[in-house]
Amino acid sequence: MYGLGNQALNVNSVVGQHANLEITNHGSDWFYAVCALMGLATLIFMGMAFMKPKGERIFHYITAGITAIACISYFALGSNLGQVPIQAEFIRPGNRWTRSAGTREIFYVRYIDWAITTPLLLLDLLLTAGVSTPTILITLLADEIMIITGLIGALTQTRYKWGFWTFGMASLLFIAYQLLFNARRQASRLGGDPKRTFMICGVLLLFVWFMYPIAWGLSEGGNVIHPDGEAVFYGVLDILAKPIFGIILLMGHRKTSMSQLGLRIRDRSHITSEKYSPGDIHRDGVHSEGPGENVGGHPSHMPAPQPHV
């Protein structure tokens, strides 16, 4: 019979293999606290969404999705699930924090979280800057490479893990280039609130993201800090990159319309089952509900078919 308080480590101690060096109850408590914060942020962002017209909620939904996924991830982390023991490359007997390490606990669930949420963070930024679709796609691809190589490196037991770290850093530098040059240039063309929001959120995100490789090097890579210290390091970074980033972004978008960003989002809630009259079709062949609808024009504007000879 377990007592009161956080019993996650005791309850889940029989699940799977466990490393010599893993989180304690302090680390578990911290993970659960961040989980609660992510959940609260999700509710706040969804509440803010309902205060906007349906066609103006894209940033709220993306940002709420980011914190919702992080909430689930941190619940798994606090429960000491989604982890696997990996032989540490560096055994440091003189380090009182990691001297017990033969194997170190690696949370792969964290990388599943990042594989979904970091592209969404970039999407928030790139849509704010109004960049082109090809730029968005190549930047998101670089982000996925960064996360996947980080995971592979964390699971690698030899010095070859630092090769994957290097691939991830190259991807991060490419992302930084896209934000600092291409996206910033486009945001400057938009000016006003979009530019201001992009600059503040972009600087915050890049600063935080360049701290992640340091955290990786001290924990999964170099085995320098205890998993509890790793939990705090990554947790603070995630709080800055998700709830804090989200609040700044959504507050910056309070007076920004989707048309200012070049976004045309259809709201089909106003469409009825009534037939459209010829006046519902513009002469340019594009329906008023959005781009690409009924392209080609009204049949009356079509050239008459030519008889076969």
pLDDT band at residue 293 using 50, 70 and 90 as cut-offs: very low
Q: In the structure encoding, which two tokens stand for residue 256, read together?
A: 């920004």
pLDDT digits (tens, 9 = 90+) for 210-237: 999 999 999 999 989 999 999 999 999 9
CATH number for the domain harbouring residue 38: 1.20.1070.10
Least Cα distance to 229 among 35, 84, 237, 208 occurs for 237
Q: What is the mean pLDDT of residues 13-39?
A: 87
Average pLDDT of the residues of the chain: 84
50 part of a folded domain: yes
10 part of a folded domain: no
279 part of a folded domain: no
- Which of the pair, 282 or 242, is modelled with greater confidence? 242
pLDDT band at residue 288 using 50, 70 and 90 as cut-offs: very low
Q: What is the 3-state secondary structure (H, E, C) of 211-279?
A: CHHHHHHHHHHCCCCCHHHHHHHHHHHHHHHHHHHHHHHHHHCCCCCHHHHCCCCCCHHHCCCCCCCHH
Domain with 212 in it: 15-261
pLDDT band at residue 3 using 50, 70 and 90 as cut-offs: low
3 part of a folded domain: no
280 part of a folded domain: no
Predicted local confidence at residue 121, as pLDDT: 98
Based on the structure, what is the number of domains in the chain? Answer: 1
pLDDT digits (tens, 9 = 90+) for 123-165: 999 999 999 999 999 999 999 999 999 999 999 999 999 999 9
284 part of a folded domain: no
43 part of a folded domain: yes
